Amino acid sequence: MKRILYFCIPALLFATSCVDSLDDYNINTKAATQVPGATLVTSAERSLANIITSSSVNNNPFRFYAQYWAATTYPDESQFVIATRQVDRNFWDPFYRDVLRDLKEAKTIITANNLLDPKIKANQLASIEVLEVYAWSVLVNTFGDVPYSEALDINQVLPKYDDDAAIYADLTVRLDKAIGMFDATATGLGTADLIYSGNVPNWIKFANSLKLRLGMTLADVDPAKAKTMVEAAAPNVIMSNAESADITYLATTPNTNPVWTDLVQSGRADFVGANTIIDRMNTLNDPRRNEYFKPLENGTFKGGTYGAPNSYSANSAPGTILESPTNPGMLLSYSEVEFLLAEAVERGFAVGGTAMGHYNAGITASITEWGGTETEAAAYILQPGVNYLTAPGDYKQKIGTQKWISLYSNPVEGWKEWRRLDAPSLVKPALGISEIPLRLTYPTTEFNSNGDNAEAASSAIGGNTVTSKIFWDKF
């Protein structure tokens, strides 16, 4: 034993003498210190799709607000209880932390890469800008005034809140600049892009379709600007389901569709279809019922009472398509584009075609997107309650109702368009603690860490309540 120690002690002393300081031991040589900009875009796209698509009551209650789904055992969120699970914070934080911050860093890294072909660099930066405009618009549509011009700056820990209309005005300028940067003759983000795999022509269509969406969102408050934006965007928008902006998830965790996580992996039975949408689809004999929801044993579809506890077995659960881990996460669909164009025609914007033609195309796109046929769509459209010439209400009610049905897989936009078009007619659930929310409240953490600015923003929008309106919600 003594001989072993005599040999070991000098060896230990020699090893120690080779290390300059103990700090060397605190360096993880396997951890990355530099991240490619395109990789950060991948992360941001995934995070964006997750928060838009999620059905978790912790961060995305909008299937309840739009009355697509009803709850079974835990109805709090369907009754508009936000504070218990900090739903507002859980929607707010991922946008700033996981989407916008990653995109900003990606932009910095790609801009500094002088080895990248200038055309490719421009396409990559333009794609990032489109994603940023998308994310910022969702934040404004959800909260109203938000930190914008001073946000994401590590040296500005108490950012001011910018006016929601002013943010929208800046977003339209940024989007136009991004559209002008694209060069369809060059590649973009390549396989790092989860939406279009770097297909620049499709990015140009996505950007113009987003411009169409933003323009129509402004239609009630600034019709002249809306007209200019929409007419400029219309010739270059998404033209088929294949061009829709969505993300295809993988079959294995953690990159599965988050709805699969909530419906299947969780092993829970927390959601059923709401009677609001199922009753409407039953009345219209809608061919999408079999995809949106599961029939009962007798082959019928029955919705649970929204805003109340419901029996899972006695009502139609979300459909089997939604139980697929690879089901796409939709950001902006071809169907949505056609409904926007139908409304644009009704408002007198020169976008080509007729309101009825675009309306019919929007319905057909939605039905075929969910696996139906054009024959089924044609039969559905011929029904008096669907036919544009005979369906009840004005154009907002006709378009709004069918658009509401079609936006089932994008509840964030479905809730937003219901607020904008006031169609279909949704009423407060009997057990709801407030009227149907017109916005999410600011997170409590904002008042704790950035109180003065959060209080000023609350005052500017008419109070930090769910009934304060976003600037574009005129009626």
**Angstrom distances, CA of residue 266 to CA of 255, 257, 262, 293, 456:** 15, 13, 5, 19, 41
Q: What is the pLDDT of residue 7?
A: 47
CA-CA-CA-CA dihedral for 279, 280, 281, 282, to nearest 10: 50
- 462: tokens are 């008419």
Residue 15 domain flag: no
Q: What is the pLDDT of residue 30?
A: 60
CB atoms within 10 A of CB 447: 15
Please name the residues in contact with 51: beta carbons below 8 A apart, sequence gap of 6 or more.
59, 60, 91, 94, 95, 99
Q: Are 380 and 368 in contact (CB under 8 A)?
A: no
- SS (HEC) of the chain: CHHHHHHHHHHHHHHHHCCCCHHHHHCCCCCCCCCCHHHHHHHHHHHHHHHHHCCCCCCCCHHHHCCCEEECCCCCHHHCCCCCCCHHHHHHHHHHHHHHHHHHHHHHHHHHCCCCCHHHHHHHHHHHHHHHHHHHHHHHHHHCCEECCCCCCCCCCCCCEECHHHHHHHHHHHHHHHHHHCCCCCCCCHHHCCCCCCCHHHHHHHHHHHHHHHHHHCCCCCHHHHHHHHHHHHHHCCCCHHHCEEECCCCCCCCCCHHHHHHHHCCCCCEEEEHHHHHHHHHCCCCCHHHHECCCCCCCCCCECCCCCCCCCCCCCECHHHHCCCCCEEEECHHHHHHHHHHHHHCCCCCCCCHHHHHHHHHHHHHHHCCCCHHHHHHHHHCCCCCCCCCCCCHHHHHHHHHHHHHHHCHHHHHHHHHHHCCCCCCCCCCCCCCCCCCCCCCHHHHHHCHHHHHHHHHHCCCCCCCCCCCCCCC
- Strand-pair partners of 246: 330
Within the chain, which residues score under 70 in pLDDT?
1-33
Is the four-CA dihedral 176, 403, 249, 136 of positive or negative sign?
Answer: positive
Q: What is the pLDDT of residue 22?
A: 55
- pLDDT by residue (tens digit) across 124-146? 999 999 999 999 999 999 999 99
Residue 308 domain flag: no
Residue 53 domain flag: yes
Residue 93 domain flag: yes
Residue 266 domain flag: no
Could you tell me the CATH number of the domain that includes residue 190?
Answer: 1.25.40.390
Residue 388 domain flag: yes
- SS (HEC) of 76-88: CHHHCCCCCCCHH
Q: Which domain holds residue 152?
A: 37-259+323-461
Residue 56 domain flag: yes
Residue 305 domain flag: no
CB atoms within 10 A of CB 463: 11
Number of domains into which the chain is organized: 1
- pLDDT by residue (tens digit) across 416-434? 999 999 999 999 999 999 9
Q: What is the pLDDT of residue 17?
A: 47
